[in-house]
Amino acid sequence: MTLEFHLNGRRHAVRDVPPNVTALDYIREHLRLTGAKEGCAEGDCGACTVVLAAGPEGGRTFRAVNACLLTLPHLNGADVLTVEGLADGDGLDPVQAAMADGDGTQCGYCTPGFVMALYALRRGPEEIGGEIDPETVHDALAGNLCRCTGYRPIVDAAVKACGEKASEEAGPGGGSAHAPARATDRYEAGGQAFLSPTGLDEMAEALADNPDAYILAGGTDLGLLAAKERQKLPVVIHTGRVAELLEIRDEPDHLEFGAAVTYTDALPLIGRDYPSFATLIKRIGSRQIRNMGTIGGNIGNASPIGDTPPCLIALDAVLSLHSRDGPRRMPIEDFFLDYRKTDLRPGEFIRSVRIPKPKAGEAFRTYKISKRYDQDISSVIGAYRIAVADGAVRDARIAYGGMAATPKRARACEAAITGSAWREDALMEAARAVDEDFEPLSDHRASAAYRSMVARNLFARLWRDISGADEPLDVALIR
Amino acid sequence: MSGPETATSDIVGAAHARLRHDSAVKHVTGDAVYVDDMPPLPGTLEIFPVVSPHAHATIVSVDIAEALRAPGVAGIFGAGDIPGKNDIAPIFSDEPILADGLAEYAGQPVLIVAADTYDLGRDAARLIDIGYEVLDPVLTIDEALEKGQFTYPPHSVVRGDAEGAIEAAPRRVSGEVSCGGQDHFYLESQVALAVPGEDRDITVHASTQHPTEVQRGVAHVLGIEINDVLVEVRRMGGAFGGKETQATGIAALAALAAALTGRPAKLRLRRDDDMIVTGKRHDYRFRYEAGFGEDGRLEGVKIEMATRSGNVADCSSGVMARALCHADNCYYLPHVRFDGLPCKTNTVSATAFRGFGGPQGMLAIETVIEHVAAELGKPVDDIRRINYYGDGGRNVTPYGQTVKDNIIVELTERLMREVDFEGRARAVDDFNAANATLKKGIALMPVKFGISFNLPTLNQGGALVHVYTDGSVHLNHGGTEMGQGLFVKVAQVVASTFQIDIDRIKISSTRTDKVPNTSATAASSGSDINGMAAHIAATEIKQRMARAAADHFGVETGSVEFRANRVYAGNESISFAECAHLAWRARESLSATGFYRTPDISWDAKTMTGSPFYYYTYGACIAEAVIDTLTGESRVLKADILQDVGNSLNPAIDMGQIEGAFVQGMGWLTSEELVWDEDGHLKTHGPSTYKIPGSRDVPPEFNVHILEDAPNMVPTIFRSKAIGEPPLMLAISVWLAIRDAVARTGGRKVFPRLDAPATPEAILMAIEDVRERANQLPSPLTGEG
Ligand SMILES: Cc1cc2nc3c(=O)[nH]c(=O)nc-3n(C[C@H](O)[C@H](O)[C@H](O)COP(=O)(O)OP(=O)(O)OC[C@H]3O[C@@H](n4cnc5c(N)ncnc54)[C@H](O)[C@@H]3O)c2cc1C
Ligand code: FES
Ligand code: FES
């Protein structure tokens, strides 16, 4: 039972290394490639960024990921690039040259991570296409922190080096110099097992046989157990190769995303149908996190501050669950029972989430409030689907995160708003029902008073936004 | 002494040239080696620190028996195992590396587990049983003041009779404002690797700004002599003051494990431990009173400056001295009383952080200035202007130093003119009139920052330079490289001195056996003192080489000239390498030390008076910000900076320092919030909860200009000026601009109380407060400004 992958073009076959060892530790300590750094071991600083190359020649994708959150078996069959693999002798990659020549480094500790994040930008299409302007660079660098430079020279270097994009050029990881590494269905070491089924039934069987197994998708939540808690994970079942869980369906009346679909892959369709939702997704974690993380994981994680659940509740999304006993469906709202408690039965997993398409006369908006615009957890997240007719609210579906122990519908607000006049003052009056719906907590992100105040005030933003107020409403969008 | 005046540039890499960081290529390829990247020596132990879960507790029992039997454990050590003294205080005493019977903050190290791997150490630590008797913690400034608890005796800067002047003044304001602390968040967390050698020798590879203090601390803790300890620092992955005193304890713990086990031992604090265990910027609460005339001219200012110094004094007295000496900023204050209160609290000891109290002091006086303007209903910049240092007696600081190099009036006027401040302010008004949800604010921040350590003793630097017979040069000095570009700047100085290309100069790691008894690389003084020391050493060698050349060619020594990699003597010329070889044959020493002490500085710590600063550095920034009145979210839209750097040694490096410091300061004042719970646990201890600025937070319009043709008035190295810290304070403009926007939500009728950091919550609450107070005013509001 070996685990195979390519790293900087060289094939590696690993045996006997426990599967809870992180990719970063493996690269630094076992392979002694110390370019990638550990700055936080929680996916937030980007110093550990490496790139995964995938796909056939002519259609290669290059995605930046956080090696600190990946466990070693996440590299199963992968093609990994680290900073050591970019330079060709003295010939620096354009990204490296621009960073070095443009004063993009000071202490240099963050630099390998920036270089890899920018390498992925240089070689790949962005989430939502377009030119390389500073905003595109910010999207790509939201997961990389630098404490020295103040970023200006890094962004300039990025614009310079990534400006002329040539995705298909040769270069590290570019061609098919090597046959893809063979992925294994099972890797075991140190008394821990990593199972990687490829089909729905296999997945169901594996889970039935190991009801206590950790279900692992992107690992952006679960990976913290390995990275920070240094926890052993006796049995892990990875969803990343289960074909059915990777499906994306664009049906006439709904979108359906398999539970293992990453944010990056889901974004184009969501952006087409729900631009506001897409804007939110572009603020979930960072490029790296979105390349790894899944909507299924966001739901499975059942955090009260997860960003997509309030949106999915407001959109009346439906979950498909699956187990050896067969499929089951439920409105996502009913899935969240209590603080981090879901209706998932032993042996059951999330197969997909179905999102109805927008209906005429309805508007959907979601607003995320956090201390920092990018890569921050929401203090409050509101999601609103409103139907207005004849100057009055005909129907409203509203949900909040960060306001209760679960992502939760604001039923009192919905009731107060439905039927009321479509005017700001009427909406603000109805918004007072927020206090009936929620008793938020105070914590290091925000106080209860602030959370409630913002949850109310967002109705004003909603009204101004939907009714097309002739003024900017988002500090992030004005110049 | 008179310093070297200029540097010519017919060589590559002379002083004043724009050069990139000397390690830039190694940074981008991943080849730059940091302590944690060093190839492990066989048998290296990793240290897992066991810390107090309580903010205040007596340690009544420690049971490590079971943990000692755990796999891979080489030793578990506590205060009782320390062979020397359990004290690494930089200024005072009794500052333990391991709690001895009493834990004074949540996160204070109590034991260290040394094991084959970090994970094994962690597993073993779970088997340790420490009995605590929990005591009431003192967590706030008020609690500490009530108990009269200080980490060292408080001191004040006093001139004249502030109370009397305030009493007699036609107008008065008073108020309160606070600013939070700040975690350094260097990307490389604290780390040290200690390797035992022969006899009692120990070598420590540390990530420290202060190798000499690590050397002293290790010797002290191990009970050996300073010459038994060698400390080496090649580079740090950022420091910002966080590795000035805080690195010493980390290194001492690694050395302790190495000495007691006889094996190499590494301590790398993981991010959360780093943030919980080690010190941060001092938070402050200011209570001010000011008396002034109808024109806004300040007569008397009184500020109580209380900080949470934490569990021990560390360098708080130095930080406070700088805060007290910068609470005048650019303003002449006739009657002053600044009281510095270092509250002893059961929180981690606050420590050095870029600016070292200066930013906090300035934030206080800028609040006073703005409050005065609001009270008089006058433009704040008029109030600034009328109070700026001038002449005719209005040029002496509260601590008695005469400001001789003042350029703040010209500098701010030029900046305001160049960015069309008045036009911009009108545009802000227009925007606010047209928009209900978002409001803009704009503000100027002038900065005057004193250069030199407050304490004269520390203002000394040493260098060691060798020239080899092939003309290559080995450069070493007491300064450390943390990313700030000190090494390349000093190499440029040596290149200019010898008139050789910079690539002939080997930049080497800082080592305590090459240059002893150094000061921390801190107080922005790195290139001032080390650059001058290296210049002195190189000049010494150059003179010997000139003598050899003069003898050889039969000319006067004084006529020998070094130019463009060659040495000219009469009609002859030889390469620098040939000259080095010639000098060696003539039995001249091609090695020299250089030593520099900053002249003309004085300080009386008892009376808090003197002229502690060799010179001042000036700068100004105009920032524009926008806030959301519904959510309190904010964004900085524009920042224009004009910064004085003297004759820059390296404009590329200086630019990086200005931009980086500004963004770091912006973080301090906006998104970086340290939150402790009611039991004294830090709740924001990783980047997931503690938010430093990201690339999108940098103002989309960010224009930085270096003041041209502004040689330092005093003879520093090539008339340059220090740059590490001053620009951080320019970021106060951002906070002022946000406060301006908040004030405008209440029609500028009331002066907002906005504490730093201005998080969305702080802003929204300030807006609520302003609107409420504005509504209560007797006169009706006349629309929003
Ligand atoms: C730096 C960083 C930033 C982040 N920022 C945000 C943010 O802004 N907003 C936000 O909402 N979240 C954020 N997160 C959290 C996380 O990225 C998301 O929750 C993400 O969607 C999780 O997906 P994943 O695939 O990585 O899940 P994993 O970590 O693999 O799994 C998460 C949980 O879901 C369960 N699970 C996964 N798949 C299934 C399945 N098919 N069936 C049943 N259970 C399953 C797992 O067992 C686990 O309990 C952030 C995380 C990090 C590290
Ligand atoms: S180490 Fe910080 S993101 Fe991985
Ligand atoms: S260069 Fe130091 S953190 Fe980026």
Dump pLDDT digits (tens) for B653-677.
999 999 999 999 999 999 999 999 9
Nearest CA in chain A to B633: A475
Confidence of residue A88 (pLDDT cuts 50, 70, 90): confident
pLDDT for res A449: 98
Whether residue B145 is contained in a domain is answered as yes
Contacts of residue A286, defined as CB under 8 A and 6 or more positions apart, other chains included, come to: A43, A46, A142, A143, A144, A374, A375
Pocket-testing residue among A68, A220, A349, ligand 1, by greatest number of atoms within 8 A of Cβ: A220
Nearest-angstrom CA–CA distance, B476 and B470 = 18
Pocket-testing residue among B23, B185, B187, ligand 3, by greatest number of atoms within 8 A of Cβ: B187
Ranges for all domains in chain A classified under CATH 3.30.390.50: 247-477
pLDDT for res A124: 83
pLDDT for res A163: 79
Mean pLDDT in chain A?
94
Confidence of residue B2 (pLDDT cuts 50, 70, 90): very low
Task: Residue B551: give its domain's CATH number.
Answer: 3.30.365.10
Q: What integer is the mean pLDDT of A385-391? A: 95
Chain-chain contact of B237 with A374 (C-beta, under 8 angstroms): no
pLDDT for res A173: 67
Whether residue B631 is contained in a domain is answered as no
Helix segments in B69-106, DSSP class H: none
Q: Is the pLDDT of residue B260 over 80?
A: yes
Helix segments in A228-286, DSSP class H: 263-273, 275-281
Q: What integer is the mean pLDDT of A338-350? A: 97
pLDDT for res A56: 85
Angle between helices A448-466 and A424-431 (to 10 degrees): 150
For the ranges A166-175, A391-400, B726-735, the lowest mean pLDDT is seen at A166-175
Chain A residues whose CB is inside 8 A of the B239 CB are: 107
Whether residue B144 is contained in a domain is answered as yes
B52/chain A closest Cα distance in angstroms: 18
Q: By the 8 A CB rule, do B337 and B162 touch?
A: yes
Whether residue B564 is contained in a domain is answered as yes
Q: What integer is the mean pLDDT of B313-342? A: 98
Ligand nearest to the CA of B656: 3
Chain B residues whose CB is inside 8 A of the A121 CB are: none
Q: Do B132 and B147 share a domain, yes or no?
A: no
Chain A residues whose CB is inside 8 A of the B271 CB are: 39-42, 45
Helix segments in A59-168, DSSP class H: 94-101, 111-123, 134-141, 152-163
* Residues A50-69 pLDDT 10s: 999 998 887 899 999 999 99
Does an H or E element contain B662, and which? helix B651-669
% pLDDT > 70, chain B: 98
Q: Is the pLDDT of residue A428 over 80?
A: yes
Nearest-angstrom CA–CA distance, A282 and A128 = 10
pLDDT for res B780: 46
Sheet holding B510-511, edge to edge: B73-78, B109-115, B45-51, B265-268, B191-196, B202-206, B229-233, B510-511
Q: Do B205 and B349 share a domain, yes or no?
A: no
Range of the domain at B469: 24-30+460-597
**Token pair 């490496």 is at which residue?**
A50
Q: Do B580 and B502 share a domain, yes or no?
A: yes
B485/chain A closest Cα distance in angstroms: 7
Q: By the 8 A CB rule, do B352 and B522 touch?
A: yes
Chain-chain contact of A471 with B484 (C-beta, under 8 angstroms): no
Sheet holding A362-369, edge to edge: A362-369, A380-389, A392-401, A408-409
Ligand nearest to the CA of A144: 2
Confidence of residue A129 (pLDDT cuts 50, 70, 90): very low
* Residues A275-286 pLDDT 10s: 999 999 999 999
Largest distance between two CA atoms of chain B: 92
Residues of B noted as catalytic = 725
Q: Is the pLDDT of residue A405 over 90?
A: yes
Q: Is A195 touching ligand 1 by the criterion CB < 6 Å? A: no
Q: Do B141 and B230 share a domain, yes or no?
A: no
Nearest-angstrom CA–CA distance, B580 and A402 = 71
Pocket-testing residue among A25, A26, A48, ligand 2, by greatest number of atoms within 8 A of Cβ: A48
Q: What integer is the mean pLDDT of B186-205? A: 97
Q: What integer is the mean pLDDT of B332-347? A: 98
- CATH superfamily label, A3-163: Beta-grasp domain (3.10.20.30)
Please name the residues between 75 and 104 in chain A that touch chain B, using a CB distance below 8 Å: 82-84, 86-87, 92, 95-97, 99-101, 103-104
Q: By the CB < 8 Å criterion, does A45 face chain B?
A: yes
Please confirm whether the linkage preceding B780 is cis (ω < 30° from 0). no
* Residues A254-298 pLDDT 10s: 999 999 999 999 999 999 999 999 999 999 999 999 999 999 999
Ligand nearest to the CA of A323: 1
Nearest-angstrom CA–CA distance, A216 and A240 = 8
Residue among A374, A358, A366 at smallest CA distance from A400 = A366
Q: Is A43 touching ligand 2 by the criterion CB < 6 Å? A: yes
Q: Do B90 and B168 share a domain, yes or no?
A: no
Q: Do B482 and B556 share a domain, yes or no?
A: yes
Nearest-angstrom CA–CA distance, A364 and A462 = 10
Chain-chain contact of B185 with A147 (C-beta, under 8 angstroms): yes
pLDDT for res B778: 74
The pTM assigned to this predicted structure is 0.97
% pLDDT > 90, chain B: 96
Best A48, A109, A115 residue to mutate vs chain B (most B CBs within 10 Å): A109
Chain-chain contact of B637 with A478 (C-beta, under 8 angstroms): yes
Q: Do B287 and B205 share a domain, yes or no?
A: no
Q: What integer is the mean pLDDT of B693-704? A: 98
Q: What are phi and psi of B280, to 5 degrees?
A: -135, 180
Chain-chain contact of A471 with B634 (C-beta, under 8 angstroms): no
Nearest-angstrom CA–CA distance, B653 and B648 = 9
Q: Do B122 and B152 share a domain, yes or no?
A: no
Tell the CATH topology of A247-477: Enolase-like; domain 1 (3.30.390)
Confidence of residue A171 (pLDDT cuts 50, 70, 90): low
Whether residue B18 is contained in a domain is answered as no
Which residue lies with its CA nearest to atom 3 of ligand 2? A43
Closest CB to A148 among B483, B662, B671: B483
Neighbouring C-beta atoms of residue A289, cutoff 10 Å: 24
Q: What integer is the mean pLDDT of A305-331? A: 98
Tell me how far apart the terminal alpha carbons of chain B are, to the nearest angstrom: 55
Q: Is the pLDDT of residue A175 over 60?
A: no
Q: Is the pLDDT of residue A38 over 80?
A: yes
Confidence of residue B305 (pLDDT cuts 50, 70, 90): very high
Ligand nearest to the CA of B187: 3
Q: Do B488 and B512 share a domain, yes or no?
A: yes
Ranges for all domains in chain A classified under CATH 3.10.20.30: 3-163
Atom of ligand 3 nearest to the CA of A114: 4
Confidence of residue B785 (pLDDT cuts 50, 70, 90): very low
Whether residue B696 is contained in a domain is answered as no
Q: Is the pLDDT of residue A128 over 60?
A: no
Q: Do B211 and B292 share a domain, yes or no?
A: no
Chain-chain contact of B437 with A39 (C-beta, under 8 angstroms): no
Q: Do B250 and B351 share a domain, yes or no?
A: no
Nearest CA in chain B to A143: B694
* Residues B460-496 pLDDT 10s: 999 999 999 999 999 999 999 999 999 999 999 999 9
Q: By the 8 A CB rule, do B198 and B192 touch?
A: no
Q: By the CB < 8 Å criterion, does A190 face chain B?
A: no
Task: Residue B60: give its domain's CATH number.
Answer: 3.90.1170.50
B187/chain A closest Cα distance in angstroms: 5
Best B25, B27, B482, B633 residue to mutate vs chain A (most A CBs within 10 Å): B27
* Residues B175-192 pLDDT 10s: 999 999 999 999 999 999
Whether residue B165 is contained in a domain is answered as yes
Question: How many whole angstroms from B374 Cα to the centroid of ligand 1?
Answer: 49
Total domain count, chain B: 3
Amino acid symbol at B273: D
The three-state secondary structure class of A250 is: strand
Q: Do B532 and B570 share a domain, yes or no?
A: yes
Chain B residues whose CB is inside 8 A of the A377 CB are: 688-689
Q: Is A27 touching ligand 2 by the criterion CB < 6 Å? A: no
A312/chain B closest Cα distance in angstroms: 23
pLDDT for res B392: 84
